[in-house]
Amino acid sequence: MLTTVSCALREPAPGDRPAAWQRALSETFVDLEVTVDQGRPWTGELTAQRLGALQIATEESGPGTVLRSARAVAADPRGHILVRRQLAGTALLLQDGRTAELRPGRLAFHDARRPFRIVLPERQRARILMVPRALLRLEERHLHALTATVVDEAEGGAAALLLPLLDGLVDEVGRAGPARREQLARTAAEILATVALDQAGREPEPALWERITASAAARLGESGLTPRDLADQHAISLRYLHLLFQRHGTTVGAWLRTRRLEAAREELARPGSAHRSIAAVAARWGFTSPSHFSRAFRAAYGLSPAQWRRTAAENVHGPRPGPPTLSGDGRIELTARVTMEHV
C-alpha cells in the first residue's frame, strides 16, 4: 500500500509557520515540538511515502530545532526507529547522551521511545526513513547503543557498500510502478536492518586502532606490507584506514617507518646481535636498501647505524682502557680513553 503526503509551508504567515510545521512533522512521524528561526525568511517542505512498514520522507527546512520531549514520549505510544540521512546542510542529533554531527552523506538512528533533539543550524535537506523497531532485529541494549552514532560510508565497513545501495533503492521507489514499490521497500528495509546490525556491533575506534597497530607491529619485517594489506586484514576500507591514522597525527607509512627504525635501533644495541651485519638487521625490519636504512636512521637519531652500535657497546662494556702511564711517585696508573665521533 502506498500513501503519499506532501506539505509545503510557504503560504502561511510567518507567525503561523512554526505551528503548521510542527503539525506536519508530528502527523508524519511522531509527536514533536518545533521551534524555527523567525529572524529571517523561513520555509519548509515535506514529502512522505508509506510503503507497508516502511515510511520514506524527504524534509527540507530552514534553521530550527525539533524536540521529542519526555512528555511527548509518554503521550504518544509510537516506538518507531527513525533514520536520518543528511543530504544537504548540517544537523546535530542528540539522544542518550550522545551527539551525532550529520553532514551530507552521513546517517544516524534515533529512537522514538526516548527523548531526542535535532538542532538545525542552517537550511538543510534530509531523507528520513521510519521503521518499526522489530524490523531491525536488535536487542534493546543494542538499540540503545546505536542511537546518535554516525554511520558514514567514508569510514568503510558495511556502510561503504550498503548506504549507496540504500540511496539507489529509495530513489527507485519513487520512480517504480505499484507492482515493484513494495518489493523495493522491503529490500530497502532489509538493507537498513543490515546497516543497523553492523553499526551496533562495530568495534569502538580505540579498540580498532589498538588491533590494527598491534598487527602492523607484528608484520614490520614484511618489506612489502602496504596500507591495502592492513585494510584488507581488518575488513575496513583503505580510506578509513588512512583516516584512522590521520586522527592519530600520522600516516600509515610514517608509523611503519618509525616502528621499524625503533626495532632496528633496539637490535643494534643488543650485545647478542653483534655478529649480525647492519644490512641484515635492516632487512630483518623491512628495509630492502641498506643505504636507505642508513639515511633514515641518521635522520631519525643523528647517528649512523654503525656509530649507534659502537656507542651502545661502549655504554654496556664501559670505556676502553688506555695504555698505562707512570705517576709522579712511580705508581702505574690506567687512564681511560673515550672516543667521541661527531656527526
Per-residue model confidence as pLDDT tens digits over 23-63: 999 999 999 999 997 777 888 999 998 887 889 999 999 99
* Secondary structure class of 148 (helix, strand, coil): coil
Which contiguous run of DSSP H or E holds residue 188? helix 178-200
C-alpha closest to that of 127 among 64, 44, 59, 193: 59
Predicted local confidence at residue 199, as pLDDT: 82
Q: Could you give the residue range(s) of every CATH 1.10.10.60 domain in the chain?
A: 206-317
- The helix-helix angle for 205-218 and 238-247 (nearest 10°) equals 100
Predicted local confidence at residue 14, as pLDDT: 57
Interval 151-186: pLDDT, tens: 988 777 777 788 898 898 888 887 888 778 888 888
Predicted local confidence at residue 334, as pLDDT: 34
Overall CATH class of domain 206-317:
mainly alpha
C-alpha closest to that of 66 among 126, 107, 119: 119
Other beta carbons within 10 angstroms of residue 95's beta carbon come to: 22
Cβ neighbourhood burial of 267 (10 Å; 0-12, 13-18, 19+): middle
Residues of the chain under the 70 pLDDT cut: 1-15, 316-343
Please provide the distance, in angstroms rounded to a whole number, between the alpha carbons at the two ends of the chain. Answer: 81
- Non-local CB neighbours of 301 within 8 Å, separated by 6+ positions: 261, 265, 308
Q: Could you give the residue range(s) of every CATH 2.60.120.10 domain in the chain?
A: 2-202
| 2-202 carries CATH number 2.40.10.10 | no
Q: Using CA atoms, how far apart are residues 213 and 227, in angstroms rounded to an integer?
A: 12
Predicted local confidence at residue 220, as pLDDT: 96
Q: Are 124 and 86 spatial neighbours (Cβ–Cβ below 8 Å)?
A: yes
C-alpha closest to that of 314 among 274, 276, 277: 274
C-alpha closest to that of 67 among 31, 111, 42: 31
User: What is the model's pTM?
Assistant: 0.62
